[in-house]
Amino acid sequence: MRTITTAALVGAAFLAAWTAIAAAMSFVAPAGTSVAVFGLSGQALAAVTAADGRFIQLGDRVVVARSDAPDFIRKLYAAGALLVLDARIAEGCTGQKRVALR
């Protein structure tokens, strides 16, 4: 039982570290990079709108967006985004079907 608990704690610590690193990397992404914005239902949409971003793909709790503004990531967090990741990194995390905007 102790081995399972230890393995679960190590796994949780690894996941937390990976998420923190991935989130930090979004701050150094060049302007114009597509990002995945995570939020509760509607929260990600509202954050992108408030940050003057362009929608690329829409999902239930994940929105892929882009902006040429250098402070786009900061604006997203200020507008209520829970997590912002480079869209290429986050692509496999959601498991949700997204609608591509053309």
pLDDT 10s digits, 61-77: 889 999 999 999 999 99
Tell which residue, 39, 36, 20, 41, has the closest CA to residue 73: 36
Q: How far apart are CA 100 and CA 61, in angstroms?
A: 15
Q: State the pTM of this model.
A: 0.70
| Per-residue confidence (pLDDT) for residue 12, from 0 to 100 | 87
Mean pLDDT of 28-41: 85
Side chain identity at 94, as an amino acid letter? T
Cα dist from 33 to 4, 37, 41, 69, whole Å: 40, 12, 23, 10
Q: How far apart are CA 75 and CA 68, in angstroms?
A: 12
Question: Is pLDDT above 90 for 55?
Answer: yes
